């Protein structure tokens, strides 16, 4: 958990630091607004089938692909990146960390490839690297790192994403001036070729609605969302209603939804590509910042730093859950002490606010 808290602080710096945030724009007339409410405990339908973990083994989930959950594991022999078969309960190791590695920051999967960012130092948050492993062939690729001429590169730890064998991430680059800059890079894992799609003050990208989407801030601290087709990487114009958000910290997405949190991570906006509808969610407290966002069906999954949480995007009702949570179009997976719970996305009853 501590690794993700560190990454969150750096992530907010890239977009929001160095200048005052812009005034919040008034809600669009066609945008719904909901206040997020939290239940005291997860509803009983979310118990799901549980996969018991071996004694002395702990797992944190970061992503789900097919019937497999991926994340960080720890046992008596050490820590590393692992894959947990949700049907058989078999846990396999993808890589073992070297002793100096602090832990996992972010992970993306599209079989056979698994891509992750890790902190390579227990004392220096600026020391990180991004890796990819082909689980079928065993091929390993060092995608990126924070080493540059003159020392470590300033800027956020990237949150890499993966689709069609293309890894996309915001790579910090050294520039003159005080603002932190990055290049939006895309690595083709088959061809070992890299393209730069954008540069400047950028967020980490996300795949949503068949697009690769990222946020950018101009010199006047105006935010914009930009996109390319996820397959061709050709520019795509987003709907006018979401081109100019008031601020952006984190992005999340699925085949039909794009979500982003505000610069202070206390509010959330969702664009439904199918319904062409914008919805805003406001948090009633400061203990659930919207960061490290994942969308699974009608649900938003996120890590607020002290707990994992689940939000029903159709109702605004939410709950906290022990451990870590990750999801896909088919499954929501919750890794708890001693077990991992798998909940099918399809057919889940919607959550409602208490009272």
> Does 332 or 9 have the greater pLDDT score?
332
Q: Which residues of 80-104 are buried (b: 16+ CB within 10 A; e: fewer)?
A: bbbbbebeeeebeebeebeeebbbb
Measure the CA–CA gap between 339 and 345, rounded to whole angstroms: 19
The model's pLDDT over 289-308, given as tens digits with 9 standing for 90+, comes to 999 999 999 999 999 888 89
pLDDT at 345 > cutoff 50: yes
pLDDT score of 25: 40
The model's pLDDT over 39-56, given as tens digits with 9 standing for 90+, comes to 887 888 787 778 889 899
- Listing DSSP states for 221-236 in one string gives --EEEEEEETTT--B-
The model's pLDDT over 203-259, given as tens digits with 9 standing for 90+, comes to 999 999 999 999 999 999 999 999 999 999 999 999 999 999 999 999 999 999 999
Give long-range contacts, CB 8 A cutoff, 24+ apart: 194-203: 195/233, 197/168, 197/228, 197/233, 198/226, 199/173, 201/14, 201/15, 202/14, 202/15, 202/170, 203/11, 203/14, 203/15, 203/170, 203/248, 203/249, 203/250, 203/251
Q: How far is CA 54 from the centre of its chain?
A: 28
Instruction: State both tokens at 38.
Output: 């939290």
Average pLDDT over every residue of 261-278: 96
The model's pLDDT over 92-125, given as tens digits with 9 standing for 90+, comes to 999 999 999 999 999 999 999 999 999 999 999 9
- Measured in Å, how far apart are the chain's first and last C-alpha atoms? 32
Measure the CA–CA gap between 214 and 287, rounded to whole angstroms: 26
Average pLDDT score, the chain: 89
Contact 206, 252 (CB under 8 A): yes
Nearest to 179 by CA among 221, 232, 229, 223: 221
């Amino acid at each position: 958990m501590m690794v993700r808290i560190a990454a969150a602080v750096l992530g907010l710096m890239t977009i929001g630091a160095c200048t005052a945030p812009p005034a919040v724009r008034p809600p669009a007339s066609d945008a719904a607004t909901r206040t997020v409410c939290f239940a005291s405990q997860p509803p009983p339908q979310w118990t799901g089938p549980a996969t018991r973990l071996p004694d002395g083994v702990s797992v944190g989930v970061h992503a789900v692909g097919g019937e497999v959950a991926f994340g960080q594991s720890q046992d008596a022999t050490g820590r590393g990146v692992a894959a947990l078969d949700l049907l058989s309960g078999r846990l396999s190791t993808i890589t073992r960390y070297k002793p100096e590695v602090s832990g996992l920051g972010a992970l993306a999967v599209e079989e056979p490839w698994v891509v992750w960012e890790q902190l390579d130092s227990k004392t220096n948050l600026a020391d990180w690297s991004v890796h990819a492993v082909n689980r079928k062939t065993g091929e390993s690729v060092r995608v990126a790192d924070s080493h540059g001429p003159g020392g470590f590169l300033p800027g956020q730890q990237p949150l890499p994403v993966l689709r069609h064998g293309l890894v996309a991430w915001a790579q910090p680059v050294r520039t003159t001036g005080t603002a932190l800059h990055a290049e939006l890079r895309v690595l083709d894992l088959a061809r070992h070729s890299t393209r730069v799609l954008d540069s400047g003050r950028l967020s980490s990208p996300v795949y949503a609605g068949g697009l690769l989407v990222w946020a950018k801030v101009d010199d006047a601290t105006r935010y914009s969302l930009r996109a390319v087709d996820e397959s061709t990487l050709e520019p795509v114009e987003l709907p006018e209603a979401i081109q100019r958000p008031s601020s952006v910290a984190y992005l999340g997405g699925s085949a039909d939804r794009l979500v982003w949190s505000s610069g202070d991570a206390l509010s959330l906006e969702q664009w439904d590509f199918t319904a062409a509808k914008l919805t805003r969610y406001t948090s009633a407290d400061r203990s659930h910042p919207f960061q490290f966002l994942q969308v699974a069906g009608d649900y938003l999954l996120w890590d607020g730093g002290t707990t994992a949480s689940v939000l029903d995007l159709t109702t605004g009702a939410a709950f906290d859950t022990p451990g870590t949570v990750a999801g896909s179009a088919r499954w929501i997976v919750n890794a708890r002490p001693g077990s991992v719970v798998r909940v099918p996305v399809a057919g889940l009853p919607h959550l409602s606010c208490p009272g």
